[in-house]
Amino acid sequence: MALRIYNTLSRRKEDFVPVNQGKVGMYSCGPTVYDYFHIGNARAFVVPDVMRRYLQYRGYEVTLVQNITDIDDKIIRRAAERGVSTNDVVSQYTQAFIDDRDALGIKAPNIQPRATEHVEGMIEMISKLIDKGLAYERNGDVYYDVSQFDEYGRLSNQNTDDLVAGARVDVGESKDDALDFTLWKAAKPGEPSWQSPWGPGRPGWHIECSVMSTKYLGPTFDIHTGGVDLVFPHHENEVAQSHGANGTPPVKYWAHNGFINIDGQRMGKSLGNFRTVRDILKQYPGKVVRYSLISNHYRKPVNFSDEELRMCAKALGRLEDAVSNALFALGIGAGVGPAQAPGSESAAWDELRRLAASGEAGRADAGSAARKLDAAIAAARTQFEESMDDDFNTAGAIAALHELATAINTFVNQGMHGEGQQQVAGAERSAAARAVLTMMELGDVVGIIDPGFVEAQRACGAQAEQGGAGGESGIGTDRLIQLLLDVRAEVRAAKLYQVSDMIRDRLSELGVAVEDTRDGARWKLVGK
């Protein structure tokens, strides 16, 4: 099945054919660093991360560019409010963005340019637009002349007459038409400024992305992402600028994610439901937040609530439990930590890969349980790929992971020890290893199961070596501890902090040290 992407420009799904065979150029609108980013912003950052991961899974060489807007009216106002420099504001919130991005499992872009590093390029593009008769200067300001670009309004599917009727000219603006937009702003006293042919000033917001995308991806690239709220005017203006300056449409596929609703309402400061990622991460692990953001198709709205997060935590727990159950049954886990990944030099992962390969030759002679699991693995991969090929349908991909998790649990509980023959037992172990590797691989593609998840199995291995309880029952101390930590997470979410502390203290008395991290609680066995 060919990969298909819904293109905002054509308003239909299109077969994905990159500009350059085997390579994909992506541009994602990044943060304006004047505050902590909110959960709506987070979705706009998670979506391109998922797209990039899947395109790489499909074998493409992907270059993702995501800018940082480090000069803007909002940054200037925030600096003035606090009595600090704009550099102080930018430094604080850029680092905060990186920290929160990492907590959500969003990989850093290949290139992360800052607007202030490209002012010279912006001046050059603005000059080119003036030379072509597409822009004009008024009193040190420079405006784009929308009337000179026939395709203006096509991306947002709006008529320019309707746009003009709703537009207004702010006090102090001297543009020829209400719909014309700012490319360069004349300097105001006390504001950061750069020298230009039109006098000291600074770039408008829209020109930044046109310049940086052109520099790093060329005049036409493959995919441009962003929230649906950016379609107009930001992306509409990007098209006008880039096409006008470069003489070619800048983007083949425009991909826009839907809004975030909070408890069924549009998020907004005026409604008192504005939630930053930083605040949410104080209550929920980043992977749970990420799970909730991709639980629906990216173009559909997402309802974000504490109840939804708790449901996502349970759903993610079911996937992780399936992996843990299989690893436990295989007796694999000691020595694997959070930094380990498939392909790394880990004895546990080496054993998984060895087991997975060992049964390939004897699949035809394997028992029914192993054959059923192999069929479930194949079906899950097919469903996963078909879903992601259909405009990056993460909801369908996650459903495939849950189907595989069910098959793994059924296999472990009913199949691994049911047939009794040594040859078959080997085939069963091989199938279980393949199932684990598949779950880890596909889970990592959408970013909800980290390749280092098997951390808990280290403790399981330590327990077995030390003669810990639970080995004969098949339950295991590690799974019981994890159950207690899951309960503790629930009571913390309900703000029952006294109960939460009691569980932690009681575990400590039993020799279990609990550490609360941004990605959730971690534990290890310590001496009493």
DSSP 111-154: B--BGGGGHHHHHHHHHHHHHTTSEEEETTEEEE-GGG-TTTTT
Contacts of 506 (CB under 8 A, 6+ apart): none
Q: Which residue has the tokens 């983007």?
A: 251
* pTM listed for this prediction: 0.84
Binning pLDDT at 50, 70 and 90, where does residue 364 land?
A: low
Mean pLDDT over 418-444 rounds to 79
Q: Is 441 helix (H, G, I), strand (E, B) or coil?
A: helix
Range with the poorest average pLDDT among 43-47, 79-83, 127-131, 469-473: 469-473
Give the mean model confidence (pLDDT) for residues 315-327.
Answer: 90
The yes-or-no verdict on residue 340 having pLDDT over 80 is: no
- Judged against a pLDDT cut of 90, whether residue 76 lies above it is answered with yes
**Alpha-carbon distance values, 116 to 45, 66, 120, 123, 235 (Å):** 21, 14, 9, 12, 20
209: confidence class by pLDDT, cuts 50, 70, 90: very high
| 49-59 tens-digit pLDDT | 999 999 999 99
In this predicted structure, what is the pLDDT of residue 472? 38
Q: Lowest-confidence range among 154-168, 208-222, 305-319? A: 154-168
Say which range, 82-86, 126-130, 344-348, 446-450, has the weakest mean pLDDT: 344-348
Name the least confident of 44-58, 204-218, 472-486: 472-486
Which pLDDT score is estimated for 461? Answer: 46
CATH 3.40.50.12780 fits 19-293, yes or no: no
Q: What would the mean pLDDT of 33-59 be, rounded to a whole number?
A: 96
Range name among 85-89, 138-142, 265-269, 345-349 with the lowest pLDDT average = 345-349
Burial label for 398, CB within 10 Å (0-12, 13-18, 19+), is buried
The predicted structure's pLDDT at residue 57: 98
Model confidence at 264: pLDDT above 70:
yes
**Residue 377: in which H helix or E strand, if any?**
helix 368-389
User: What are the tens digits of pLDDT across the range 353-362?
Assistant: 888 888 665 5
Topology of the domain covering 306-455 = Isoleucyl-tRNA Synthetase; Domain 1 (1.10.730)
Mean pLDDT of the chain: 86
Between residues 89 and 283, the one the model is more confident about: 89
Region 401-421: mean pLDDT is 78
| Residue 515 pLDDT level (bands cut at 50, 70, 90) | confident
DSSP string, 315-326: HHHHHHHHHHHH
Distance of CA 397 to the CA centre of its chain: 15
Residue 316 pLDDT more than 60? Answer: yes
Q: Which two tokens stand for residue 357?
A: 């390969």
519 has a pLDDT exceeding 90: no
In this structure, of 23-27, 178-182, 279-283, 341-345, the range with the lowest mean pLDDT score is: 341-345
Query: Is the predicted pLDDT of residue 72 greater than 60, yes or no?
Result: yes
For position 416, what pLDDT does the model report? 61
Domain ranges for the chain, please list them: 19-293, 306-455, 466-528
pLDDT of residue 31: 97
Whole-number percent of the chain with pLDDT over 70: 83
Q: What's 38's DSSP letter? A: B
Mean pLDDT of 38-65: 97
DSSP 20: B
Return the number of other C-beta atoms located less than 10 Å from residue 311's C-beta.
15
Q: What is the pLDDT of residue 284?
A: 92
pLDDT digits (tens, 9 = 90+) for 435-445: 999 999 999 99
Q: For residue 367, is pLDDT > 90?
A: no
475-505 residue pLDDT tens: 456 667 877 888 888 778 777 777 777 787 7
- Tens of pLDDT along 77-113? 999 999 999 999 999 999 999 999 999 999 999 999 9
Instruction: Answer for the pair 493, 283: CB distance below 8 angstroms, yes or no.
Output: yes
233 prior amide bond cis, ω within 30: yes
Fill in the amino acid letter for 90.
Answer: V
